[in-house]
Chain A
Amino acid sequence: MHAEGIFLQLAVLGCKASLAVLLLAAGGAKLADLAGFASTVRLFVPGRLPRALAISPVLAAAIAAGEVLAGAASLSMPAAGWLNPVVLAICCCFAVAWTVGYVRHAGRACRCFGALSRQRFTVAGIGRAVGLTLAAAAATAGVPQVSIELSLLTRLGLLGGGALVAMAAFSAAAAAGARREPEPA
Chain B
Amino acid sequence: MASIPLYLAVAQWALLGALGVLVIVMFRQLGRLLAGNAKTGELGPPVGSLAVPLSYLRPGEADVRAFTPGGGQPALIAFVDPTCPSCEQLVLVLDAMRAAGELAAVRVLLLISDPASYLRISEAFQASELEIGRPADPSGLDAYRATGTPLLVAIDAAGVVAAAGSTIRQADVRRYRDACAGHSPTQGQEERPAAQAAGTWGIDGTEQVSHHR
Which residues of A are in contact with B by a Cβ distance under 8 Å?
A: 6, 9-10, 13-14, 16-18, 20-22, 24-25, 35-36, 39-40, 42-43, 49, 52-53, 75, 78, 108-109, 116, 143, 146-150, 154, 158, 161-162, 164-165, 168-169, 171-172, 175-176, 179-185
Whether A146 lies near B84 (C-beta < 8 A) is: no
| 8 Å CB contact of B204 from A116, A143, A179 | A179
15 A-B pairs within 8 Å (CB atoms) are namely: A6-B6, A9-B6, A10-B6, A13-B6, A17-B13, A25-B18, A35-B85, A39-B85, A146-B5, A150-B7, A158-B8, A161-B12, A165-B18, A175-B33, A183-B87
Whether A179 lies near B15 (C-beta < 8 A) is: no
Q: Considering residues B79, B83, B151, B203, which has the most beta carbons from chain A within 10 angstroms of its beta carbon?
A: B83
Whether A52 lies near B121 (C-beta < 8 A) is: yes
User: In whole angstroms, how far apart are the Cα atoms of A9 and B42 in the complex?
Assistant: 50
Which residues of B are in contact with A by a Cβ distance under 8 Å?
A: 5-8, 10-15, 17-19, 22-23, 25-26, 29, 32-33, 37, 40, 43, 79, 81-88, 113-114, 120-123, 126, 146-151, 166, 168, 203-204, 206
List, in ascending order, chain B residues with CB within 8 A of A108's CB. Answer: 83, 114
Whether A21 lies near B29 (C-beta < 8 A) is: no
List, in ascending order, chain B residues with CB within 8 A of A35's CB. Answer: 85
| 8 Å CB contact of A149 from B5, B19, B86 | B5
Distance in Å from the Cβ of B133 to the closest Cβ of chain A? 15
Distance in Å from the Cβ of B50 to the closest Cβ of chain A? 22
List, in ascending order, chain B residues with CB within 8 A of A180's CB. Answer: 86, 166, 168, 203
List, in ascending order, chain B residues with CB within 8 A of A40's CB. Answer: 83
List, in ascending order, chain A residues with CB within 8 A of B26's CB. Answer: 168, 171-172, 175
| 8 Å CB contact of B148 from A24, A75, A183 | A183
List, in ascending order, chain B residues with CB within 8 A of A109's CB. Answer: 83-84
Whether A13 lies near B150 (C-beta < 8 A) is: no
Whether B33 lies near A179 (C-beta < 8 A) is: yes
Which single residue of chain A is at the shortest CB-CB distance from B44?
A182
Q: 11 more A-B contacts (CB under 8 A) besides A17-B15, A40-B83, A172-B29?
A: A13-B10, A13-B11, A14-B14, A21-B15, A147-B6, A161-B12, A168-B23, A181-B148, A182-B151, A184-B148, A185-B81
List, in ascending order, chain A residues with CB within 8 A of B126's CB. Answer: 49
Which single residue of chain B is at the shortest CB-CB distance from A25?
B18
| 8 Å CB contact of A172 from B11, B22, B147 | B22
Assuming A13-B6, A150-B8, A176-B29, is B148 touching A36 (CB within 8 A)?
no
Whether A182 lies near B32 (C-beta < 8 A) is: no
Whether A185 lies near B79 (C-beta < 8 A) is: yes
Distance in Å from the Cβ of A36 to the closest Cβ of chain B? 5
Whether B15 lies near A161 (C-beta < 8 A) is: yes
| 8 Å CB contact of A175 from B6, B14, B29, B168 | B29
User: In whole angstroms, how far apart are the Cα atoms of A183 and B81 in the complex?
Assistant: 10
Whether A183 lies near B29 (C-beta < 8 A) is: no
